[in-house]
Chain A
Amino acid sequence: MGNETADSTLLDNRPAVPPWMVGLTAAMMLVQLYLIFMWVSTEATMGIIQRIFYFHVPAAVASFVATFVGGIAAILYLVKRDSKWDDLSLAANETVVVFEIVNICMGSIWAKRVWGIWWTWDAKLTSAFLLLFIYAAYLVIRRAAPVEARATVCAVICILGMADVPLIYMSNRIFRTQHPSPVIGGGEGSGLAGDMATTLFFGMATMVMVWWCMVLVRRRVARLERAAEDLTRRAHELDDLRRD
């Protein structure tokens, strides 16, 4: 599958995520918590439970970014057959599952308090669930698919995943949904107060930083997995040579 063999740089002590990036992300997470719990004003109708919004929406944004990065990397791997794209694609696609779980679970907790139900099959929630389902299937199929077909199958699943993102975004703009109307880019009457918009956009930037740190670590793991497979094969080849 890959064209990369084990190299000595895999075992050097450089961390997968540069320390400055870890520091910056940690600082942003602390500021995000301050903004959400201490700074932003409380929404008049829902009260403090609305603050879930500042984590729920950024988690969705991180999963959308991951979907496109993973999808484009899968297509690049299909074209160039360079294993660095396959590693990036796997890392990004796995994080779609993580952030969609966060997004759906937090939305569900909010729904229980505000709607009185955990879940409803409206267009927005269903299309978000579909995204989680597509990427959970990706992870299973990636393991099960024959090596020679894996790149093509994975790229097709990624294209399906990328196609679902505009559907999620547009669903509460096109259809009548139980999910609240869009507050950004939702036409007349939509919009957020200045402090709420600041908290939301800062939350999005923080979540994308957390996501990128995750991708860097997962990409390193993917390289190590490839190297371990390669070295195991070489060890077996040496055994066979010795026997001959």
Chain B
Amino acid sequence: MENLNWLFYAFGLGWLVIFGYLFQISQKERKLRHRVAELQEMIEERWKKKA
């Protein structure tokens, strides 16, 4: 029974690291997409003003 607990901790930790990393990079992608869209919009506006 005790070994079953350890098995649970080991697999739990393994999946936590993998899904934690996947979650972290997905969040980063979402933020960067937003930032790139903002920057593109800002540059377009500045070009219009300059023209």
A-B contact pairs, 15 of them (CB 8 A): A11-B33, A48-B7, A49-B3, A52-B7, A52-B10, A55-B14, A106-B13, A109-B9, A109-B10, A109-B13, A217-B25, A221-B32, A224-B29, A227-B36, A235-B42
**B3 engages A47 (CB within 8 Å):** yes
A residues contacting the other copy or chain, number (CB 8 A): 40
For B42, list chain A residues within 8 Å (CB).
235
For B26, list chain A residues within 8 Å (CB).
217
Interface residues of B (CB under 8 A from A): 3-4, 6-7, 9-11, 13-14, 17-18, 21-22, 25-26, 28-29, 32-33, 35-37, 39-40, 42-43, 46-47, 49-50
What is the predominant secondary structure among interface residues of chain B facing chain A? helix
Report the Cα distance A217→B27, complex, angstroms: 11
**A105 engages B13 (CB within 8 Å):** yes
Report the Cα distance A9→B6, complex, angstroms: 46
Nearest-Cβ distance from residue A183 to partner chain B, whole angstroms:
19
Asked if A122 CB lies within 8 Å of chain B CBs, one says no
For B29, list chain A residues within 8 Å (CB).
16, 217, 220-221, 224
**B36 engages A101 (CB within 8 Å):** no
Nearest-Cβ distance from residue B34 to partner chain A, whole angstroms:
10
**A109 engages B6 (CB within 8 Å):** yes
**B9 engages A221 (CB within 8 Å):** no
Additional 18 contacts, C-beta under 8 A, given A47-B3, A228-B39, A238-B50: A11-B33, A11-B37, A16-B29, A48-B7, A49-B6, A51-B7, A52-B11, A59-B14, A102-B17, A106-B11, A109-B6, A110-B10, A213-B22, A214-B21, A217-B22, A221-B28, A224-B29, A228-B32
For A52, list chain B residues within 8 Å (CB).
7, 10-11
Report the Cα distance A165→B21, complex, angstroms: 23
Closest residue of chain A to B42 (Cβ to Cβ) is A235
Report the Cα distance A234→B18, complex, angstroms: 36
Asked if A137 CB lies within 8 Å of chain B CBs, one says no
For A234, list chain B residues within 8 Å (CB).
43
**B32 engages A55 (CB within 8 Å):** no
Asked if A232 CB lies within 8 Å of chain B CBs, one says yes
Nearest-Cβ distance from residue B9 to partner chain A, whole angstroms:
6
Q: A49 with B22: in contact, given A10-B36, A228-B36 (CB under 8 Å)?
A: no
Nearest-Cβ distance from residue A27 to partner chain B, whole angstroms:
16
